[in-house]
Amino acid sequence: MIVHVERADDTRLDAFRWRERQLASRADRLETVGSGLFVAEGDLVVERALALGNQPVALLCAERVAPGFAMRVVDDVPVYVGDDDLRRDVTGLGVPLGVTGLFRRPPMRDPDSLFAASRRVVLMESVDNPTNLGAVVRSAAALGWDALVLDATSADPLARRALRVSMGTALVLPYARLTPGDSIASLLGRHACSALALTPDPSARAIGSFRDDIFGHERIALVLGSEREGLSPSALAAATEHVRVPMHAGVDSLNVGAAAAIALHAFGPDAP
């Protein structure tokens, strides 16, 4: 159902302006049956959301793309059409995206079941920056990893910025979130695997020193921590190996997204 709108303050567009807490409460983000909403920004991300069967609530489109998207949603889903200035104002991004989509959040997976069913898993502890999270998700999906498990304090993969940075791959890579009473260390204690904790600590094993000594293991987990504090002592203690990317020129460490990409390639299914 195509609906032309003339004013950016039209109340029918309010949800496109909502921030994360308005789209999905903390309880919604843990809900196993699917609650709350998420926003997909840009043609590629919206296309991916629709192709994967996510349920649209409304779309905001440029005139040129509206008919094509209207054909892909049921009749009672409004496809709002507005000019460049209106779309730029509503999204607040400074650019008039061709399409922005409002979707219902999919059900949350059980972390233990997801971990047990995966051969290569990324574990994230206290990674609360959605840009970093989105970068890691994109690399994990691109480099052949099977799943992502986050602790309760990490950012939301379906947050606007995380989903935009990941180019929608957060909708492709299966993920789960631990409850506030659980931890990455406890999860590792429940599952047999080679757990590789990424850390800048100079006593850790250099990433290039690994050869075939871990690749025969049934399951590999790459454990990533926050930019500021790194991994907790309990997560480091639960890991099989501590791994570092060697630094030069007095630089102490890489951004977690960059370091993760190196490790995801080094320990991924196409590792040299």
Q: Among residues of the chain, what percentage have pLDDT more than 70? A: 93
Mean pLDDT (whole number) for 199-217 = 81
d(CA 113, CA 163): 24
> Which residue ranges make up each domain of the chain?
2-104, 111-266
Tell me: the pLDDT tens digits for 49-77? Answer: 999 999 999 999 999 999 999 999 999 99
Q: Which residues pair with 56 in a beta bridge?
A: 103
pLDDT of residue 30: 53
User: What is the rounded distance in angstroms from the CA atom of residue 176 to the CA atom of residue 86?
Assistant: 36
Is residue 33 scored above 80 in pLDDT?
no
* Superfamily in which the 2-104 domain is placed by CATH: Ribosomal protein L30/S12 (3.30.1330.30)
- pLDDT, one tens digit per residue, over 224-247 is 999 888 999 999 999 999 999 999
Q: What is the pTM of this model?
A: 0.90
Q: What is the DSSP pairing of strand 120-124 with strand 99-104?
A: unpaired
Q: How far is residue 251's CA from residue 151's CA, in Å, rounded to a whole number?
A: 28
> Edge to edge, what strands does the sheet with 205-206 contain?
175-177, 147-150, 120-124, 220-224, 194-198, 241-244, 205-206
- Looking at domain 111-266, its CATH superfamily turns out to be SPOUT methyltransferase, trefoil knot domain (3.40.1280.10)
